[in-house]
Structure 1
């Protein structure tokens, strides 16, 4: 079987949550560049509208709603089908990223983190399954390298991404076997998104903090760009990934598990 390496998502309809900014926005734009039509989702109406305007109203439609709302998953699926006639893939990208450790985390906050980062993706997969089954579509979950253990001050976030990873492996087997629907996950490392830049500035770093990073954190001299994550996402959304399902791939510039940083490494706040 020969695949053409251009327009790899021709005529596909892809729903990307959290696509008004950051990695989700980059994925949505790359999907359109590869021939797809997209459903944009986010919490900021103005930002979602800007993405649709940038992509083109004939190739994108937006819905603004909290993903944990009971009505949101079905609304997003129905919007894709009513606008573009089908739904080929969903990208569970929307996530809550907030610093917290065992001492600063209460049960209400932990439940909220799991609700947004793990249960909402599950609810969307469940809502989308009847449409995905029709076309032997796929799911791509966007996790984090923190899923393996996580930074001390990202405890609830890391746990939520670890749970998402197990969900990916479980459904990757079950849904492929029963419905012909692939489920995979990519775990990005440190990515220069708008929100990450804002968080680091709030931690007291200068505006161009990412221009001079210790090699221990960024061997390449810089961190990842959203567009690089988007390029990797296309493979998992395209037919060229074949029947591969239930897989998790880390996207970082160094071995994340078992790595031994130099003792004189500088901590990034």
Structure 2
């Protein structure tokens, strides 16, 4: 198995992409710390994976001592720490008119500052085991949609952080840092968001080709499959890299003028 005996923190893993990554990590031989804010959903994930392979920690990562708490849970439960997956994020709509300083700071705290503080708390243990960090970003990091201003800014900052730490921590601590940028993924939260925006319950079954050449959008399990490569030793010395995972060229694309108004929120 590709992750045999590794201990991995996966933030935001009670639902969606994080949940899929946690499940795939266990399938590949790892033990995982499930993290999130939804106690009932987290307990369901932990029950599915089993107490020998997982432990649940519920806490807001923006709390001052939360990153250290998550690291301590890993060490106390499994005795080591090999990798951190920074997946937890606040996906929230805003534009230039609705984004004030307080709102932007809130989004940055969750999506950029919390991943940094968790890396700092985990670093001594990752260094000991020549471990790695995988940040889960978004294709919105490159520019972003008009109604995702604060979110896009936070993911752009995360991408710069990945490249910076991917260089410095690899040289100084032997810790690799990489990032995947998911495109439009059919998570539970995304399905609910679009339904709340007025789309029918089965909106994802009829997405225009311009957004989904494959006839569907990406599944969380497909993101999880990609994540395993970066968490496994087979990715070798590669560090400081950001990979976009979408089903069409994201930058420089020219969609038809009659493209549907149905736009992705993405991860």
Bin the TM-score by the shorter chain: over 0.9
Separation in structure 2 between the aligned mates of residue 198 and residue 108 of structure 1, nearest angstrom: 26
Report what 1:85 is aligned to.
Answer: 79
Q: In the alignment, is residue 53 of structure 1 matched against residue 47 of structure 2?
A: yes
- The 5-angstrom pairing of residues 47-126 of structure 1 reads 47-126=41-120
In the alignment, structure 1 segments of 5+ residues that lack a partner are 1-6
The CA distance in 1 between the partners of 2:197 and 2:211, in whole Å, is 17
State the match for 1:4 in structure 2: none
* 1:192-211 map, 5 Å: 192-211=186-205
Q: What residue is the counterpart of 1:187 in the other structure?
A: 181
Instruction: Name the structure 2 match of 1:171.
Output: 165
**CA drift at 1:44:** 1.1
| Aligned equivalents of 2:200, 2:215: Cα separation in 1 | 17
Aligned to 2:149: 155
- Residue deviations 1:40-65 (CA, integer Å, cap 9, x gap): 00001111111100100110001100
CA shift, 1:145, in A, is 0.2
Deviation at 1:267, TM superposition (A): 1.1
SS in 2 for 1:157: helix
How big is the shift at 1:106?
Answer: 1.3
Taking structure 2 as the reference length, the TM-score comes to 0.98
Residues 18-47 of structure 1: per-residue CA shift (max 9 Å, x gap): 000000000000000000000000001111
Q: Distance in 2 between matches of 1:210 and 1:48?
A: 25
- The separation in 1 between residues aligned to 2:99 and 2:214, in whole angstroms, is 34
Q: Does 1:31 align with 2:21?
A: no
1:110-158 Cα shifts (integer Å, max 9, x gaps): 1000000000000000000000000000000000000000000000000
* 2:129 paired residue among 128, 135, 142: 135
How many positions carry a matched residue from both structures?
263
**Regions of 4+ moved over 6 Å:** none
SS at match of 1:191: coil
Q: Which residue of 2 aligns with 1:225?
A: 219
Match status 1:40 vs 2:31: no
The alpha carbon displacement at 1:107 in A equals 1.0
- Residue 230 of structure 1 deviates from its aligned partner by 0.1
> More deviation in 69-78 or 137-146?
69-78
Q: 2: CA distance between counterparts of 1:143 and 1:179?
A: 23
| Partner in structure 2 of residue 262 of structure 1 | 256
Query: Secondary structure of 2:45's partner?
Result: helix
Report the 3-state secondary structure (helix = DSSP H, G, I; strand = E; otherwise coil) of the residue aligned with 2:71.
helix
| 2: CA distance, partners of 1:98 / 1:242 | 35
SS at match of 2:5: coil
Secondary structure of 1:244's counterpart equals: coil
